[in-house]
Structure 1
Amino acid sequence: MSNKSAFVLVHGGLHGAWTWTDLTSLLAEVGFPSLAFDLPGAGSLTQFPRSFLKRPLDIEAFAKEVSPISGVTQDERTDAAVTAVNQAANLGNGKVILVGHSWGGLTISHVAEAIPEKLQSLVYLTALLIPNGLSGGEIFEHPSFDNSEVLPLFIGDSGEHGAAMRMDPRSEDPEYIRKLKDGFYHDVPQERVAAIANLLHCDEPADTATALIEITAEKFGSIERHYIRMADDRVLPPEAQDYMIERIDTSGIGGTTKVHNLSGGHSPMFANPRTLRDVLVKIAG
């Protein structure tokens, strides 16, 4: 057991616990325990539409087929993360730093409201930081997200196929794959990107986009929060990150978000994990 705080690492959309392999090793090098896990419906817990597995892809069938993970709820994801926090508390000094990347920001906000007493800090790693009363899907409607290179790659209508986002990471269309890779991983070595792309799943459950963020000053607002802002993010543009930070800080929820500015794109855990580790260690104190 370590005498340092433990990190719980929540992956983003279409990814899984494997996202954090490099970072967990680097944290261990300096004595920090960490726990990464697959959210329900993601990583090793996902399922694929039948049409996705047939190549060449029938894009019309894929756009309409109901997602086999359409029934997964945000509450299930929140519960899974709460369990991970409770487990991680036993790995270190009892204090837990909860990190959410990208779409994972939604889950860590729900967890913060559920068990604020268990958390030392919240860390939004170029993640969705949503004010009370809004949903992840609604925040994308703000003009600050207009320059996202990934949002236009979504396929079909969520109301029809039951996925918050549906993409084709195994597309045979070279232009689609180029845009996907440039959006998520433009500063990651290409040989690494080729391996990563084979691990992505295609759907995120619709409920994660429509579930309202319900947070209070007494709970969520009592926890120290940090935002790691990526200056060249092509998924969540810098202006979108700035908008979310300003919106939460002026919402009356309490506290001020501490911003850590890093160069680079949406996936620093692959592009520059050592620098990311150093920022997290600084946050841990």
Structure 2
Amino acid sequence: MATYLLVHGAWHSARCWDRVIPLLEAAGHRVLAPTLTGYGGKIHLAGPDVGLDTHVADVLGLITEQDLTDVVLVGHSYAGLVISSVANAVPERVAHLVYLDAMVPEHGEAAVDVMPVSQNFVDLALNSDSGWRIPPPGTFGVTDPDDVAWLRTMLSDQPVRCLLEPVRLDNPAVKAIPRTHIHCTVVPEGFVRRAVPDGERVLELPTGHDCMITMPRELTELLIKAG
């Protein structure tokens, strides 16, 4: 049995994993999927002060509270930044890092460095009436009308600070944690994917960015393979 900690990306909530969690549990694994501050049921906490550090603290708090060890830490999209900083803080508790169609940063980089198109979202937010809100930019590769309708019930605005705060990756112990990258082959415009370092596994899914919605069974199989 493995312990999977699934971290959703920008604009989403933990509900995006609803089709994956039962499949992992049916295979005998423990699964935790927190909703990060400012999204879903925590939308009332959203504000200009919510940033990457807030979300890193969310995940670290859950790991500490549940005394989790040997965690398979999965980050989707923006959450690639989150899981990187989490692993930097508690490498002894992380057994595997899974970057699910995710931003993969170096130390000191923010989302705008890893994914330059993010700067467009930052500019729009800073020049908007709120000064910090970034509305969802689309449906993340989901095309089925019923799935799109469900997806829209869980989307909320993204605080701009999340895209500006840098990742911490200065703990040498992080380099010993195995990594798997799961790439969705239907790539949206502006999405930049860096070359994966030698020795790190790459798996693929023939679908769009929100593969947990469009191909949950296939994603589950890859997560089990990675873990």
Give the TM-score normalised by the residue count of structure 2. Answer: 0.88
User: CA shift at 1:77, angstroms?
Assistant: 1.2
Please give the secondary structure, in 2, of the residue aligned with 1:180. coil
User: CA shift at 1:281, angstroms?
Assistant: 0.6
Maintained 8 Å contact 1:35/1:88: no
User: CA shift at 1:40, angstroms?
Assistant: 1.1
Pair 1:84-2:62 in alignment: yes
1:5 is matched with 2
Find the partner of 2:187 among 233, 250, 265: 233
Name the structure with the higher helix share.
Answer: 1
User: CA shift at 1:85, angstroms?
Assistant: 2.6
Please give the secondary structure, in 2, of the residue aligned with 1:191. helix
Give the TM-score normalised by the residue count of structure 1. Answer: 0.71
2:38 is matched with 41
1:264 is matched with 207
Unaligned runs of 5+ in 1: 49-67, 170-178, 250-254
User: CA shift at 1:132, angstroms?
Assistant: 1.7
After superposing the two structures, state which structure 1 stretch, 152-161 or 208-217, moved more. 152-161
Q: Within 2, Cα distance between the matches of 1:159 and 1:14?
A: 19
Maintained 8 Å contact 1:89/1:96: no
Please give the secondary structure, in 1, of the residue aligned with 2:180. strand
1:60-115 superposed Cα distances (whole Å, 9 cap, x missing partner): xxxxxxxx51111322211110122345555xxx4210000011111101101000
RMSD of the TM alignment (CA)? 2.5
User: CA shift at 1:198, angstroms?
Assistant: 2.4
2:141 is matched with 185
Maintained 8 Å contact 1:74/1:208: yes
Pair 1:130-2:73 in alignment: no
1:283 is matched with 226
Maintained 8 Å contact 1:227/1:257: yes
Identity, % of aligned pairs?
26
User: CA shift at 1:219, angstroms?
Assistant: 2.6
2:124 is matched with 156
Pair 1:219-2:173 in alignment: yes
Please give the secondary structure, in 1, of the residue aligned with 2:84. helix
Find the partner of 1:107 among 78, 82, 90: 82
* Distance 1:21-1:155 versus aligned 2 partners, 3 A rule: farther
Larger-Rg structure? 1
Question: 1:14 is matched by which residue type in structure 2?
Answer: W
Unaligned runs of 5+ in 2: none
Q: Within 1, Cα distance between the matches of 2:189 and 2:3?
A: 28
Pair 1:23-2:20 in alignment: yes
Paired residues, number: 226
Q: Within 2, Cα distance between the matches of 1:230 and 1:34?
A: 22
1:107-141 superposed Cα distances (whole Å, 9 cap, x missing partner): 10110100000000000100111112221122232
User: CA shift at 1:153, angstroms?
Assistant: 7.5
* Distance 1:87-1:95 versus aligned 2 partners, 3 A rule: farther
Question: 2:146 is matched by which residue type in structure 1?
Answer: E
Maintained 8 Å contact 1:5/1:95: yes
